[in-house]
Amino acid sequence: MRAVFDKGELLVLLRDFYQLTGLRTVVFDEWGMDILSYPPELPAYCRLVRGTPEGEQGCRLCDQKACRQAQREGKTLIYPCHAGLIEAITPIQVDDVIVGYLLLSHIVQGADEQAEWERAKGLCAGYGIPEDTLYQAYRQLPRTPYALLQAACDLLSLSARALCQVHMARLVPGSLSEKLNRFVSEHLAEDLSSERICAAMGLGRTALYELSKETYGCGINEYVRRLRIQRAMKLLTGTDLTNSEICQQIGIADYNYFFRVFRKQTGFTPQAYRRQFAARK
């Protein structure tokens, strides 16, 4: 059973966290894919890095690795990102099940400005970004001394533990949302048109859209695509199935379509994702 996040209430929490700390917070789902952030826009420094194919790949790989490490250790972690900034991540657990992660991102401590900048510049050297442009964006990032960072991490950890208590993240057996989630999960390898789901759930198209929007934050077709890719991620790292066999199990008949959607959602080709993460399953 998957978690349901109350994105409206969660956004209020992220805004409050930003007001207190000045730090951007990101919510990832259980697969390490971001579903909500505040502020929603990236800082200029990260837009520059992610504006390059290598930088975009580096960001996605860094996020995935952080989520996996937080899952293994089950606690808040502070770590350097691939572009020379500091980040902190903590798992969100509901009934001892990790259902997502909270991330503090784009942090510069400012204890030794020159040394920190030199490290960031060196790590970004291969991205082809003009040094002056990168430096100007780097200067715009907030400075967060270690004591403040540690306090923010303590609040982050408390927030993650409180989410299920105030029902911002929950597992809801027997609810209409849970029934929808179970039906989609159990029939993922089959045709999952809106018409079929409506018939199975006894809902009209408008009611199905509203239920999907409330439950997942998107329409049902987008959610089915997302869930299929998440199932593919699991099969790529946990089995030796070929890509064609994986397509059959997730209900995608066209391999070229699978390739395009997988790369768009994860930033990796299926083969690259398997190479990166199969040994870490």
Q: How confident is the model at residue 1, as a pLDDT?
A: 46
CATH topology of domain 176-280: Arc Repressor Mutant, subunit A (1.10.10)
Domain 4-170 and domain 176-280 have a common topology: no
Class level of CATH domain 4-170: alpha beta
By CB neighbour count within 10 A (0-12 exposed, 13-18 middle, 19+ buried), where does 40 fall? Answer: exposed
Q: Which two tokens stand for residue 236?
A: 């790529």
Strand partners, 104: 25, 88
Instruction: Write out the chain's pLDDT in tens, 281 residues.
Output: 455 666 777 888 889 889 988 899 999 888 888 888 999 999 999 999 999 999 999 998 999 899 989 988 888 899 999 999 999 999 887 656 677 899 999 999 988 999 999 999 999 999 999 999 999 999 999 899 988 888 988 888 887 776 655 555 554 566 787 788 889 989 999 989 999 999 999 999 999 998 888 777 788 998 899 889 989 998 998 899 999 999 999 999 899 999 999 998 888 899 988 988 875 44
Q: How confident is the model at residue 267, as a pLDDT?
A: 85
Task: Show Cβ contacts of residue 51 under 8 Å, excluding neighbours closer than 6 positions.
Answer: none
All structural domains of the chain with their residue ranges = 4-170, 176-280
Task: Show Cβ contacts of residue 235 under 8 Å, excluding neighbours closer than 6 positions.
Answer: 241, 246, 249, 250
